Chains A and B, each alone.
With several copies, the nearest count.
Chain A
Amino acid sequence: MTKKLTRRQVAWRIAQDIEEGNYVNLGIGQPELVANFIPADREIVFHSENGILGMGPEPGPNEVDYDLINAGKKPVTMLPGGSFFHHADSFGMIRGNHLDICVLGAFQVSEKGDLANWSTGGPDAVPAVGGAMDLAVGARLVFVMTDHNTKKGDAKIVRKCTYPLTGPGVVNTIYSDIAVIDVRPDGLVVREKVPGISFDELQARTEAQIGGRASCRELSAPEIE
């Protein structure tokens, strides 16, 4: 039986690949979970697009201050050593390749690392892009956190994105609920997959061609409530 990871387990898995001293931006929504699973011995500096370095955990109920929110507009706290700066400086930091890692959600990722995560192209949708395009081109490493398939079972890891792109060739690693897949110059390579799913089954759930059959390891995460 396929033992797919919960979202919190995917967040845990991503957190293991964030190294001591990294400057990290966590996209709005699911990627924010990653902050909860950084190993205790690693000091990480979290960036938020609205002009913060050194964000700490969620505030307690009496500490909430709506002048101190993250890009997702949720209240946060500051660690000692944090700093504030204006929006042009914040995106200079992003575009100028100073962030080590950003973790983003995705509608689709292509075999070339193209990312589509801002628009499904619907004629009625109000277009909204935010900082995703800047993060996609700016961060040294772009990690994608996503379910492997849509609720309807469609592939999200595709040959070619059908949705409008956020950025071409920007993704480095895809962390799904069943696999960790690196985007390499010669294509997608499965680094890890969950037990109970064969490589062929994984390929069947992935529209893009995947490699790494021989070398891929087991993807596992601790039980997280």
Chain B
Amino acid sequence: MINKIVDTLQDAVSTIEDGAIVLISGFGESGNPTELTHALIDHGARELTLVNNNAGNGHVGLAALLESGNVRKMVCSFPRSTDSGVFDNLYREGKIELEVVPQGTLAERIRAAGAGIGGFYTKTSIGTPLADGKERRTYNCEEYVLEEPLHADFALVKADLADRWGNLTYRLAARNFGPIMCSAARTTIVQARQIVPLGDIPPETVVTPGIYVDYIVEVTNPASEREMIENGVHYVSGAAE
């Protein structure tokens, strides 16, 4: 019997190795796999490359993972926020590498990796410093830049419902990067708010088919990063102080 459900967050992230490229879902604070991210901090894999739209807030979730010192490189479209001091400091001190990618190009590169596309042309960034040094092509009298797929070793994704085959749905706008990240990673690890019996998700409303998912762990009441930040939480491996 196919059963992708694992019992603990620790089990779910246990195969993430040093040097891995890890996609982390979420935008703002919708769709962040905070519990999986904290489990990755505890797991302690080092020299990671992370991919997310942003670069974390406060001292929880993605920001706490950055703060752990285990991240070598951040790939994102918008690292700045009102509360992105952890990343800002690492960057200014030269302790982390940054690759800034336009948001749509970031999404399309992830999608391309999942869909077996060996590169694509976009008009986005033509005429800007972000196109410097990249191959170009003229199509239909307009200039396009070549972008390559963004393959990853792991994806950490937050979903709403899941079943034992790994079929997923997402809540509201928390869908954001989840479906494409699930498809682009060699191993996809999902925290779902609720695991439901196989067949409970109607086949027309499955958003991520189970083929893209490897491990699922149920996190019934996922933390609000906003509330943690407001309460001054600093996540440190093994203990929230």
Query: Residues on A close to B: CB < 8 A?
Result: 20-21, 23, 43, 45, 47-54, 65-69, 73, 78, 80-99, 114, 124, 126-134, 137-138, 164-169
Contacts and interface: CB of A to CB of B under 8 A. Distances in A.
Contacts of B125: 133
Interface string B121-134: 01111111110000
Given A45-B211, A134-B104, A164-B128, A84 B77 contact: no
B contacts with A: majority SS:
loop
Contacts of B1: 43
Contacts, number: 211
B176 A86 contact: yes
Those 3 A-B pairs whose CB atoms lie nearest each other, nearest first: A80-B199, A95-B116, A91-B104
Contact of A137 (B115, B123, B171, B177): B123
Interface string B99-133: 01111111110110111110000111111111000
Contact of A51 (B102, B163, B176): B176
B171 A67 contact: yes
Contacts of A127: 79, 98, 100
B203 A67 contact: no
Interface in B211-237: 211-212, 224, 226
Contacts of A92: 104, 108, 111, 114-117, 183
B167 interface: yes
B211 A68 contact: no
A84 B102 contact: no
B222 to A, nearest CB: 10
A200 B172 CA distance: 52
A134 B117 CA distance: 12
B203 A50 contact: no
A73 B2 contact: no
27 contacts: A21-B2, A45-B2, A45-B210, A48-B173, A68-B172, A68-B173, A73-B28, A81-B165, A81-B210, A82-B203, A86-B107, A86-B180, A87-B177, A88-B108, A90-B104, A92-B114, A92-B117, A92-B183, A93-B115, A93-B183, A95-B104, A95-B123, A96-B183, A130-B103, A134-B103, A138-B124, A165-B129
